[in-house]
Amino acid sequence: MDKPIFIIAILFMVLFTTGCNRQNVEDLPQVAFSTDNYVVFSEYYDVSFLSIEGKQYTPTTEEVEKGLNLIRAFLDKQSGIRDFSEYKTQIISYTNNSGEKVIYANYFCSTFGADWTKEFLSVDDGGNCFFNIKVNLQTEEVFDLIVNGEA
């Protein structure tokens, strides 16, 4: 094989196997924004471990605040939930199959040393120190409250 043709063939293969201008999901921002009390994961955060219907999106600060206020009002009427100052919150947002925006909030009072701002916490048992809940921002319905059990 002619040397220049061989070099061109190698360059051609390298360009097409590495992908021109292709960006890995891992390179995209995983966290949209955070405060001392909550973190909002972006639409690029892998939530394949959750059973959510629809498509992930990155919410605005206003949407997050609205959702958290609706959740807090709902939980104020429930028994068995600790004082909110004891919890940190992780937020994932998606649009459901009807196109309505939903916030999934994961609450916890202990991180077991994990970096809760980067790693989604999933804990078996633990009682009311761990719970998750959803809120539909269009209908303002709060639903799917799941409080962990005791071991």
Structural domain contains residue 15:
no
Q: What digits encode the pLDDT tens for the residues 116-137? A: 999 898 888 888 899 999 999 9
Structural domain contains residue 1:
no
Q: What digits encode the pLDDT tens for the residues 14-36? A: 444 444 444 455 677 788 888 89
Structural domain contains residue 5:
no
Structural domain contains residue 111:
yes
Q: How many domains does the chain have?
A: 1
> Residue 38's domain spans which residues?
24-147
Structural domain contains residue 101:
yes
Query: Which of 151, 90, 95, 140 has the alpha carbon at shortest distance from 118?
Result: 90
Are 148 and 130 in contact by the 8 Å Cβ rule? The answer is yes
Average pLDDT across the chain, whole number? 84
